[in-house]
A and B are shown apart, each in its own frame.
Chain A
């Protein structure tokens, strides 16, 4: 089994689009893929599971891969996390200090 630890880098967190990309990529591999966050483990090939993780920017996730192509799967999935799913990375500066929903 291969274990990796990643951080959610894209600013909006693991919302619909990245979840969808993640599941799509994971499903291409034969290896089983699980994600653990705060002691809660889900199947990484399940969009429902990934979405209900509600991983916010900065969240740390433990990834587990098991199966014949586990190495390839781990490399590809980790690089997706690294480049923030092609989305804008977290900014150091907070632009809108109060989101509208809190008004």
Chain B
């Protein structure tokens, strides 16, 4: 396809949210998950053997695809998840199922699609109606198998057949689709926010595929197949049918970015320190074991935030103590000799629980430590698992969504009791395991001096802190544009928290998205932040900025930033500094 094909179509620009950095310029591939047709067709008796052969071939093809997916999954994610695909292969080989479909084709004189549809739908509806939660979950696997066989029968293009070098536009990507991304057929990705799991964005970042999610517009509606699109994974801008001028502009950016990546990879093995030797730590935010290899790849100095609730949400149930122990041990062994920070499960807010009760204002509701204190058995099994895992490497436990000092003391009492229990049971643990809190509610930031006396470390969560300080729900389209971490009130609270921590001699990091924003790096550094914890892919750019200035210079920028009247003037101060330094990244981010 020639780029000139775009002429005649009008350039359109949509604003979304960038979830994986970089630029992609390519024709779009609409990966629609629309169900293949399975309408009934009547066959003449002589057509039946042919139809049965067609079924055999489709099953073989589906099996071949699944085995391919399973092997890629095993290589990329580990044998645990590959198991799901193996079971799906067994469904395709199930003698009872194959006989039933063949008998159906023969007895009803109908097409294979209809026979497959009816046979599997029978099992699926049985499973969905079952009172057994496990069976209801499995229904999705049967659904996947059914779709795969039907698509195979109709030889519909699957994602594994995406033409090379496309931007994939999708509403929803499943585990199977994601692993096939690693084939590098995909240059960029546009997803709809409703269907975006954090799985999808993590995978995009892990694979270095620029990606954005749509906000208030549906990607699959506004983009047509083969339209040329530009994905700006930084700003979240999507350009459809770009003019030749826009195309040129982005080609330049793309080239600049690849030059930048090259520069950054040269810094890989150098420490995160300023020109005058002030050293900070760059750590990783992690959710799943699949991401652990990135710790070494990006030279993360430990894990600043392990979101333990993600495995809970992915499984749809609480993990047992032993299951947690296995996962935490794996994490600690991959992280050693560096520290791994386990945040107690942080549910509520946008991570919705099947509560059975609608909270009118979930962000001001039952979430974080509030849930844990109301659900002692959940809390207890997690504390036990973390303590028991602590013998495998330096471990820190972090409490989410703290508001009152009493919550911290209650958790600490629980930890002390659990230690005695484990000692009595003869189970090993690290008696000096550090305990810290998330600073993400204004009450804690304001009273940081008091909290610093109770804990070993702070970690500042900027998303929640900003929404509570500014009273803006970022998920609300009407006010989302008022959400700005650069607001001086937010920055003053961050600075205050860091100072309080240092007065009491405790360590303070930041694990919110703001820590990954390169525009904030100079002044966060200048405030004295000890650690930046970010998605591993962002580590190189933060390091590059830290290594480009002196601590003194960073402090001067901070002083100027903290006296500004609004976010706009904060940005101006920062962009002046980046401007003087002619920073490529800053120019890519269009500040």
Contacts and interface: CB of A to CB of B under 8 A. Distances in A.
B377 A103 contact: no
A95 B318 CA distance: 11
Interface stretch (A8-16, A67-75, A78-86): A8-16
Contacts of B123: 48, 52
B83 interface: yes
Interface string A86-103: 001001000111111101
Given A48-B94, A49-B96, A103 B86 contact: no
A98 B132 CA distance: 16
B375 A47 contact: no
Interface stretch (B41-49, B133-141, B164-172): B133-141
B350 to A, nearest CB: 16
A53 to B, nearest CB: 9
Contact of B87 (A20, A49, A95): A20
A56 B130 CA distance: 14
Interface residues of B, number: 38
B318 A99 contact: yes
A101 B317 contact: yes
A15 B134 contact: yes
B223 interface: no
Contact of B312 (A16, A19, A49, A100): A100
A11 B321 CA distance: 12
Nearest to A53: B135
Contact of B377 (A17, A52, A98): A98
Contacts of B545: none
B362 interface: no
A54 B91 contact: no
Contact of A103 (B96, B322, B354): B354
A46 B95 contact: yes
Contacts of B377: 95-98
A23 interface: yes
B316 interface: yes
Contact of B134 (A20, A54, A95): A54
The main secondary structure of chain B at its interface with chain A is helix
A101 B133 contact: yes
B381 A96 contact: yes
Contact of A46 (B94, B141, B321, B371): B94
Given A20-B86, A48-B123, A98-B377, A103 B353 contact: yes
B126 A100 contact: no
Nearest to A102: B354
Contacts of A17: 83, 87
B244 interface: no
Contacts of B86: 20
A54 B97 contact: no
Nearest to B133: A101
A52 B135 contact: yes
B378 A96 contact: yes
B110 interface: no
Contacts, number: 88
Interface string B134-172: 110010011000000000000000000000000000000
A43 interface: yes
Given A45-B95, A46-B95, A52 B381 contact: no
Interface string B312-333: 1000111011100000000000
A28 to B, nearest CB: 13
Nearest to B322: A88
Contacts of B375: 98, 103
Nearest to A19: B87
Contacts of A4: none
A54 B132 contact: yes
Nearest to A43: B96
Interface string A47-63: 11101101010000000
Contact of A20 (B83, B318, B321, B381): B83
B13 interface: no
Contacts of A91: 322
B127 interface: yes
B135 A48 contact: no
A3 interface: no
B589 interface: no
A42 B111 CA distance: 27
B103 interface: no
Contacts of A20: 83, 86-87, 90
B385 to A, nearest CB: 9
Contact of A43 (B93, B95, B320): B95
B428 interface: no
Interface in B370-418: 371, 375, 377-378, 381, 384
Contacts of B134: 13, 15, 54
A17 B381 CA distance: 24
B355 interface: yes
A23 B83 CA distance: 14
Contacts of B130: 54
A43 B94 CA distance: 10
Given A46-B96, A88-B322, A24 B90 contact: yes
Interface of B: 83-84, 86-87, 90-91, 93-97, 123, 126-127, 130, 132-135, 138, 141-142, 312, 316-318, 320-322, 353-355, 371, 375, 377-378, 381, 384
Interface of A: 11, 13, 15-17, 19-20, 23-24, 43, 45-49, 51-52, 54, 56, 88, 91, 95-101, 103
26 contacts: A15-B134, A16-B141, A19-B87, A20-B86, A43-B95, A45-B95, A46-B94, A46-B95, A46-B96, A48-B96, A48-B142, A49-B96, A51-B138, A52-B135, A54-B135, A91-B322, A95-B320, A95-B377, A95-B381, A96-B320, A96-B321, A97-B377, A99-B318, A100-B312, A100-B353, A103-B355
6 closest Cβ pairs, A-B complex:
A46-B96, A100-B318, A47-B90, A97-B377, A95-B321, A54-B132
Given A20-B83, A56-B132, A100-B318, 17 more contacts: A11-B320, A16-B141, A24-B90, A46-B94, A46-B97, A47-B91, A48-B96, A48-B97, A52-B135, A88-B322, A96-B318, A96-B377, A100-B316, A101-B133, A103-B354, A103-B355, A103-B378
